[in-house]
Amino acid sequence: MRPEDVTLYSGGARGAEAAFGETAERYGVAEVNFTFEGHHIERTRNTRLLTPKELAKGDVSMAEVARRLGRDYSDRPWMRRILQSIWHQVNNGVQVFVVGVIQNDGTVKGGTGWAAELAKMWNRPLHVFDQEKGHWFTWRNETWIESRPVIGHRTLCGTGTRNLNEAGRAAIEELFARSFRSG
């Protein structure tokens, strides 16, 4: 796969999303960052401002989010728009890469976990770099398996924690290097 044939869909937020975007740019991968009115993002390259009507396409029951993630975001009205924009990222990216922490119940910590849950529901190739364990994991047969993923589709979603550590940053860089090394 050639980097110029690939598009990264992300959200441009501080942390993992910005790192995915910066790395994609260095490798010549196209980038689209979904955002919405009033959302503050760090990475503004190729921003796609979602209208209220477009955001509504990704609308989700907060009860369903609470059920799947085991935590309630209903007291945070802005969270609905974040989750709606994550829907657009995953909807556009065939392969989903997340940097965060896999919890004991198999979900990924924080709002980022919604991207992983959508990927599971839509049967998308899902890879999570767990910053605490320092390894990539792939969701396969209803369980997490340690892996060394590569970018293998023309579209990918890159998202994750705003609290990116050095291991997470290195994992993103190594993912792109593994995927696009020449020869």
Can you give the pTM of this predicted structure?
A: 0.93
Domain boundaries, the chain: 3-180
Phi, psi (rounded to 5 degrees) for 158: -120, 115
Q: Please list, residue by residue across 120-143, b when 16 or more beta carbons sit within 10 angstroms of its beta carbon and e when fewer do.
A: beeebbbbbbbbeeebbbebeeee
Fold of 3-180: Rossmann fold (3.40.50)
- Average of per-residue pLDDT values in the chain: 92
Average pLDDT of the segment spanning 130-141: 97
Residue-wise pLDDT tens digits, 35-89: 999 999 999 889 999 999 999 888 776 677 767 777 776 666 778 888 899 999 9
pLDDT by residue (tens digit) across 76-88? 677 888 889 999 9
pLDDT of residue 183: 43
